Structures are given as structure tokens and as C-alpha cells.
Amino acid sequence: MVQVAPPHSEQLQNVWFTDASAQREGKVWKYRAVASQVQTGDKIVTEGEGREQGGELGAFWSVFNHEPETSDSVYVYRDSFAVFKGLKQNKALKS
């Protein structure tokens, strides 16, 4: 289930921050995105063709591919309301 995360605090576990940027190379947009795990320092970098929002979605998704399936919550902090809104509307991500 996707929902708004609580304010970040040191007591939270499984905390990730994600961000992405894109630049145009000729007629093609290319993005680079990163997901960074706060406690371990693990980083997942993804690159591809598309705009920044696609990169942000890829970074978000990479967190869930990286985390083992457990009943523990995973907290992902991002700066894109458009991506959050899209995730909330996706029925596959709702419980």
C-alpha cells in the first residue's frame, strides 16, 4: 500500500530517499535516478531514456525490487507529487 510517510525521524527503519534528473541529448531525453538507503548507505542508480518523472518512478520501484518481502514498512521520501499521485491511483499498489 502506498501512503504518505510520517515525518522523517531517526527511529524509523527501512528509510530511503529518491531523486532523479533528466537532460536532453539531441532529440532524446535521458534520466539518471538514485535511491539511497539512510541506515546502510546503499545506493541504487538507474539510467534510461525518458523524462525526470520516469526516472523518479524507476528509483521508487528499484527500492521495492531491492527490499525483501516482509511485513515491515518501507519509507520512501521523494520530492515529486506527480509520481506520488500516480502511485496512489495505481490499483496494483493499493492493498
Q: Order of strands across the sheet with 43-49? A: 43-49, 28-37, 15-25, 75-77
Strands, E, within 1-95: which ranges?
A: 15-25, 28-37, 43-49, 75-77
**AA identity, residue 84:** F
Q: Quick one: 19 exposed, middle or buried, by C-beta within 10 A (0-12, 13-18, 19+)? A: middle
The grid coordinates listed for 36 are: 539511497
The grid coordinates listed for 88 are: 496512489
pTM: 0.73
End-to-end CA distance of the chain: 5
pLDDT tens, residue order, the chain (95 aa): 566 777 877 888 888 889 899 999 999 999 999 999 988 899 999 999 999 888 988 898 898 888 877 667 888 887 766 556 655 565 444 44
